[in-house]
Chain A
């Protein structure tokens, strides 16, 4: 690995950082309950929620497992599961 002068790096390098590794709990979406309101996507601090045709989908590469989505879901469509390492 090189050590770039002053820690300056190319913009966009954080895309490579797999923050999903930090997770203790994983949000699980019950798509049958999901009403696609988009509230979870609005509140997700890491923009990991995407509202698709069949409901909300979590990007587990970046999701840190804060579970704000679960707390904010108005129809309790999101639950948590312990992340097995």
Chain B
């Protein structure tokens, strides 16, 4: 299908996609760097371009609670936040996931205080990784648009019924401008379909949401979410495949790969950093270096088998993390190592902390990472975490 390509801000691209998916209820509380999405959507509603119920809230906790209630009442519901705002939503997102409400949430990644900062990293969404919500991480404005168009159908599928967070790095994606191809609203609306809830609040058939459960079933409800996330894998694959068929260009599903064939070093990363790695990998390949890239799109559900398959016979895997579990290490690296545990192929896995609090990760840094990882291959066994750009003079 032919779309219209324009130079759009990342936030605007998201708002265009959300508008075309026609959510019944939107409730968002402003926070940098998410606010432009909220402003664009509010403008669409006030000008009549979008017929959603736009509910202003007094906090992120309220905004999340409002979309929780809307979703329970059978409405297609949308919210967005960042950083501290996501932490304030945390309790409600757990409840959304466990009561199986398919709210779509844009998470504009920003580091967590203190010190207070507005720079991007993944600490906010990683703090929500165990809620049961699905997480799709995007690398560009175009993918931010595409992922939102796909998101409602994935979340609302009767076999899935889980909240879905589309995660995009603050500033780099939310506030930068790039050519984005936007498809006609009618076509997007048709693709996104409408929400047919499995159950909903109805005064003539009253239901209790958030009922009490004891030790006899609480564990069973957690396990039910494990099954739903596994089923979400198939749904994500089929929706992205259909998206390619209907709209044309779209790469990857649970993950995407670049130059992994016969690679001697494979880099694994998420978010906007992936674009930088693509450029660095292309330069290194032109110099004859056998380097590849795996972009993890869905951190939840985590594509463990797909990562192992995509790494192939690569002897070295370097994992780049923009988040930290204190005293453990990079969170993506921990999960990648866990995926390989007990398997027949065991590459040397080198964890890197890169870009925490928005610290610069450019092509030079990526090439340095490749060099460090290549050297690490000589040393077998567990690898220490490498902190890129850390000023060690403070600690000597």
Contacts and interface: CB of A to CB of B under 8 A. Distances in A.
A5 B100 contact: yes
B198 A7 contact: no
A6 B101 CA distance: 8
A28 to B, nearest CB: 29
Interface in B75-131: 98-101
Nearest to B100: A6
B161 A6 contact: yes
Nearest to A12: B206
A82 interface: no
Given A3-B224, A6-B161, A11 B99 contact: no
A8 B209 contact: yes
A3 to B, nearest CB: 6
B287 interface: no
Interface residues of A, number: 11
A13 interface: yes
A8 B220 contact: no
Contact of A13 (B198, B208, B221): B208
A14 B199 CA distance: 20
A77 to B, nearest CB: 33
A6 B99 CA distance: 4
A8 B208 contact: yes
B206 A6 contact: no
B97 to A, nearest CB: 9
A10 interface: yes
Contacts of B209: 6, 8
B218 to A, nearest CB: 9
Contacts of A14: 212
| Chain B binding surface, main DSSP class | loop
Contacts of B99: 6-8
B221 A8 contact: no
A10 B224 CA distance: 20
B206 A8 contact: no
A10 B199 contact: no
Nearest to A17: B212
B222 to A, nearest CB: 11
B217 interface: yes
A38 B165 CA distance: 53
Contacts of B206: 10-12
Contacts of A10: 206-208
A32 interface: no
Interface of A: 3, 5-14
Interface of B: 98-101, 161, 198-199, 206-213, 217, 220-221, 224
Given A7-B99, A7-B221, A9-B211, 15 more contacts: A3-B217, A3-B220, A3-B221, A3-B224, A5-B100, A5-B199, A6-B99, A6-B100, A6-B161, A7-B98, A7-B211, A8-B199, A8-B208, A9-B208, A12-B206
Q: Which 9 A-B pairs have the closest CB atoms?
A: A6-B100, A11-B206, A6-B99, A11-B208, A9-B211, A9-B208, A5-B100, A8-B207, A8-B209
21 contacts: A3-B217, A3-B224, A6-B101, A6-B209, A6-B221, A7-B98, A7-B210, A7-B217, A7-B221, A8-B99, A8-B199, A8-B208, A8-B209, A9-B208, A9-B211, A10-B208, A11-B207, A11-B208, A13-B208, A13-B211, A14-B212
